[in-house]
Each structure stands twice: as C-alpha cells, then as structure tokens.
A and B are shown apart, each in its own frame.
Chain A
C-alpha cells in the first residue's frame, strides 16, 4: 500500500519542447522526466543552454510542452494555466530585484503572492500576520522592511524577501532558477541555509536549478545533470558528485574544482556559513 510520501509532489513525464527558428530547430527539452518527492530538494545542473530554465518554466505552466505530462501531488495539470500551478509552486529568480515590481512596496508584493489569486477552493487566501512575522524573523528582516521598495535593499536581502513571498503564498514547492547565482559568497551561504531550514520547518520541496555543482552539493538530496535538453545523469547528490558516471558530469565537476582552487569559494563547509550581521542591513 502506498503512503502519501510515495507520491511525488511533482512529476514531469517525457517533456519535449522544440523551438523553431528560421534555419534550425532547437530541442530545448528532449524527453525529460522529473520525480520530486515530498520534502526533497532536487538540483538541476548543466551549462547555459542545457534546458534547465526551460524545464522550470514548463513545470510552472509558463510554457506548454509539445509532448509529455505534468503531475502535481498525483493530479495531472498538463496544459493548465499558470493559475493552477501558482497554487502549488512558486518561482524564485536569479535577479532578486527584477523579481519584484519596482513600484510596489514589499508588503504589497508579498500579499499579492498570497491573495492575488483564488485557491483550489475558489476563495482567496486570507492574510496570516503570524506566518508573515515568523517568516520575516526566519530571514532576519524586521517588519519595517515591508514598507520599503526593492531598490532600497541589498541583493541578498531582496532574495530573502522573495523566499518569504514564495513561502507566504502557501505554495509548498519552490522552483529556484539560479536563485543564488547573482549573490556574493556570504549571501549565497545564508540563502542556502535558509532554504534548508524552510524545507525542514514547512516541508517544502524544491527544484533548484544551478550551473554551480558546488552550491547544489550543499543543498540538494538528488541531482539531475542536463546537457542539450537531455538528462545525462540522475541520482543521489553525493553519489553523483563523488562517483560521476558521465564524462559531462566529470567536466562540470572539474570546472568547479578549478574555480574553487582559484577562489576558494567552495571550500567552506556548512559550519563556515557566515552569521547574520547587522552590517548586512542597508
């Protein structure tokens, strides 16, 4: 007998998407399948143009696949609109500033995420001040930040705000598209820690797209390596990183090691995660 924990919160089966230009066809997704189990974080890695972001956009219903099926908690939602996906999953972007309407204060943006659309019961979600306070506390931003506008916060603070917005919306699946790539090393480590805490506390599942295997290794339970729209390797994160089967995965790992040797940015362990400091506040 299967329990709810056996049912993937998110499943993509054989997604195919081809983009046509005048002189050629680009297969952005070539029979890509994903199974995200509850409370797990799946890393999707690959170089630019490998199809990582396209995969996320299809999962979020921002684009429609040519072939394949999408399931959320066992319910098929292929071809549905973004409103359906929005009830269950939220995106976190690389450009934290750009992910907020520049003319909306954070309070408005965050509330719009929760009650800007109707839930599965046809009703708009009510505000939950206690949850919002709790989330702000977790990301070490006080309530005064809610009155501020995106341009007045640092990149790391803005990204933490976007995480607050995503979780406050009620979604329990986060689709992180290079969510730490634009941050400095300290902010990157803070966001990674924060995502881990949220995963534990709110049973959040995530798809974490990154070109950086170092970051993925710190955060993810599973990893999927993509190249030219295809999944070339998939498995337990530590297993794939310590014993890569595919040459392409080894290349990515070598690239991380080279960069790490030069900059030392991947040498810190979890215990090296910088503490939150007052100086981090603008």
Chain B
C-alpha cells in the first residue's frame, strides 16, 4: 500500500510541473504590465521611471524561465509571492480563502450525499413508482438549472421576501445556508441520477437474483451486496464533484459575498493581481490531483480483490 501511494505521489510531480509552467506562461502572456498594475493598485503616481524601477525590483526584467524557476522554488517552500494589491503574502490569502471555500464545499457535499443516497436507493428499489418518477423529474430539473439562477431565486424568496437569511452572507453561520443549498441542488440532482443508475445496474445482476433466491433478507442484499458493490462508483462520482464544487463556488461566493477562494480569485482577476491568480491555479491543480488520488485509494481499499490492501 505504502509503495502504491509513493508511486502515485511521484506520478503527480510531472503533472504539477506542467500545470505550474502553463499557469505561469498564460499569466505572463496576459495583457497589462504587472508593475504598472501593482503601482496603480497601491495608489502610486505612475511615471515611466517609476514603472521601470518597479519592474527591476519585481524581477520582471529577467528572462521568463529564470522568473518561472524562481517562482517555482518559492512555491516549493510555500512562498507564492506577494499580492500586487495589498502586499500581503499570496499563500496566506489563499489559505484563508480556501478554508472558507472548503467549509462551503464540504457542507454542500455532505448535504448532497445525505439527500441523494437515500433518495437514489428508494428510487432504484421502487423503480418506476410515483416516488421514482417525481424524483427523476426533480433531479433532472435540479441538474439542469444553473446554480447562479438557483442562488438568485433562493435569495429572492428567503432573503428579500421571507427575510430569514441575510442577503450578504458575510462569514456568519446563517449566511452559510443559501450558498450551500445553491451549490447542493444541482449536485444532488446529478448524484440522484447517477447513483440510481448504478444501483439499478447492480440490482439486475444475476448474483443479486441468486442471493434473493437463496432467501437472504432484502435489506441484507441491499446493503451488503448491492450498495457495497455500487460504493466504489459512488465514491468516484462524489470525489470528482469536489473539484466541480470548488470551481462552482467562484460564482456562488461572488453572489453571496462569501469570502472564500472563489471570490478572492474573481477580485484578483478583476484587479490583475497575477500572483494570487497563479497561486490559485496551482493550489486548485494540487487539490484536484490529491482528491483524485484519495478517491482512488478509497476505491482500492474498499475492494477486497486488490492485492495492495493485503
């Protein structure tokens, strides 16, 4: 198992290098002079000499690869540079935002799983019943409606009409509800459809018919055989959704003014605060890869057929 994990971690290195290189390259090619943007953001009177001096101070006069490796080695030590906007370290700003976003993403994921697992199990077991048909339509609708529309509708109903929740979420606990629900609705819709299909395909297997024919109780068959066999697929779907959630939170955080990493990066893009954007791309890339690895490890650990678990 240890060998497998080390092998997988080593395989992440080239991917991260490619990711870091292209994120650095793309932002280097983006229009606008970072030195000018930084000075403008700090309210300094901009002259040609001042800009040139700032360019030299920021190291922008050095060749591209030199700057890239300097940034990369800094990143390896946990230093992603400083924000042009306020001079604070990028790593600190991103970690603060990431914590807030994780709070949102994990809450949404937990809520989605809590709703979708029992609903998809009932839908699959009572296929084509009224319950199944109703939730198939609801899950289709939930999956189809974009989450920014859901969030605006929720805001209108619960914040403006009913005044239950604050319009601006801020960092309050009550402010967490609507962003979480907005993110959870489309994901729950997707989960219900995918989990239901997987459970039905397991229920139709001959071995399930055989176990039923041997008289094993239906609940035992459902939990021990059907759900256990469907679990690997379900974990993969849920794992892959975390990445989508982090991406989706950019819009939701901006709408609800939730100070997560999504809002931070949106503000940074608008302000051309490139070190923050570069750091965001790198951290999100690392998160995607690590989540993929963890999902694979859970998948493998749950499968008794794989040798590495022994």
Flag if A117 contacts B216 (CB, 8 Å). Answer: yes
Q: Which of A100-108, A224-232, A271-279 contacts B (4 or more CB under 8 A)?
A: A100-108
Q: Is the interface of A mostly helix, strand, loop or mixed?
A: loop
Flag if B215 contacts A91 (CB, 8 Å). Answer: no
Flag if A82 contacts B212 (CB, 8 Å). Answer: yes
Beyond A98-B205, A112-B216, A117-B217, whether A105 also contacts B211 by CB under 8 A is: no
Shortest Cβ distance from B121 into chain A, in angstroms? Answer: 18
Flag if B210 contacts A93 (CB, 8 Å). Answer: yes
Beyond A62-B209, A98-B206, A99-B206, whether A151 also contacts B215 by CB under 8 A is: no
Total interface residues on A, using CB and 8 Å? 32
1/0 per residue B207-231: CB within 8 Å of A? Answer: 1011111111100100001001100
Name the residue in A61, A83, A101, A151 with the highest tally of chain B Cβ atoms < 10 Å from its Cβ. Answer: A101
Flag if B213 contacts A105 (CB, 8 Å). Answer: no
Flag if B305 contacts A151 (CB, 8 Å). Answer: yes
B296 within 8 A of A: no
B32 within 8 A of A: no
Shortest Cβ distance from B208 into chain A, in angstroms? Answer: 8
Flag if B304 contacts A105 (CB, 8 Å). Answer: yes
Shortest Cβ distance from A175 into chain B, in angstroms? Answer: 8
**Alpha-carbon gap, A81 to B209, bound state (A):** 13
Beyond A101-B225, A149-B305, whether A83 also contacts B215 by CB under 8 A is: yes
A57-97 interface (Cβ within 8 A of B): 60-62, 81-87, 89-91, 93-95
Please indicate the chain B residues that have their CB under 8 angstroms from the CB of A95 in the complex: 206
Flag if B215 contacts A93 (CB, 8 Å). Answer: no
Please indicate the chain A residues that have their CB under 8 angstroms from the CB of B228 in the complex: 103
Beyond A101-B225, A103-B304, whether A90 also contacts B206 by CB under 8 A is: no
A156 within 8 A of B: no
Flag if A102 contacts B211 (CB, 8 Å). Answer: no
Partner of B207, one of A60, A87, A101, A116: A101
**Alpha-carbon gap, A149 to B206, bound state (A):** 16
A110-137 interface (Cβ within 8 A of B): 112-113, 116-117
CB nearest neighbor in B for A169: B214
**Alpha-carbon gap, A87 to B217, bound state (A):** 13
CB nearest neighbor in B for A92: B210
B303 within 8 A of A: yes
Flag if A86 contacts B214 (CB, 8 Å). Answer: yes
Shortest Cβ distance from A158 into chain B, in angstroms? Answer: 11
Flag if A82 contacts B215 (CB, 8 Å). Answer: yes
Beyond A95-B206, A103-B305, whether A62 also contacts B214 by CB under 8 A is: no
1/0 per residue A156-192: CB within 8 Å of B? Answer: 0000000000000100000100000000000000000
Name the residue in B211, B214, B304 with the highest tally of chain A Cβ atoms < 10 Å from its Cβ. Answer: B214
Flag if A60 contacts B305 (CB, 8 Å). Answer: no
Shortest Cβ distance from B193 into chain A, in angstroms? Answer: 24
Flag if B229 contacts A102 (CB, 8 Å). Answer: yes
CB nearest neighbor in B for A152: B305
Flag if B214 contacts A113 (CB, 8 Å). Answer: yes
CB nearest neighbor in B for A95: B206
**Alpha-carbon gap, A89 to B212, bound state (A):** 12
Partner of B213, one of A60, A102, A104, A151: A60
Please indicate the chain B residues that have their CB under 8 angstroms from the CB of A91 in the complex: 209-210, 213
CB nearest neighbor in A for B209: A62
Flag if A101 contacts B211 (CB, 8 Å). Answer: yes
Flag if A86 contacts B229 (CB, 8 Å). Answer: no
Please indicate the chain A residues that have their CB under 8 angstroms from the CB of B217 in the complex: 83, 117
Shortest Cβ distance from A171 into chain B, in angstroms? Answer: 8
Flag if B305 contacts A90 (CB, 8 Å). Answer: no
CB nearest neighbor in B for A89: B213
Shortest Cβ distance from A108 into chain B, in angstroms? Answer: 9
Which 5 pairs show the lowest CB-CB distances between chains A and B? A86-B215, A83-B215, A98-B206, A117-B215, A116-B216
Return 12 A-B CB contacts under 8 Å, by A number.
Answer: A82-B212, A82-B213, A86-B216, A90-B214, A94-B206, A98-B205, A99-B210, A101-B207, A101-B211, A101-B225, A102-B207, A117-B217
Given A101-B225, A102-B207, A104-B225, 20 further pairs, Cβ under 8 A = A61-B213, A62-B209, A81-B215, A82-B215, A83-B215, A83-B216, A87-B215, A90-B213, A90-B214, A91-B210, A100-B207, A101-B211, A101-B229, A103-B303, A112-B214, A112-B216, A113-B214, A117-B214, A117-B216, A117-B217
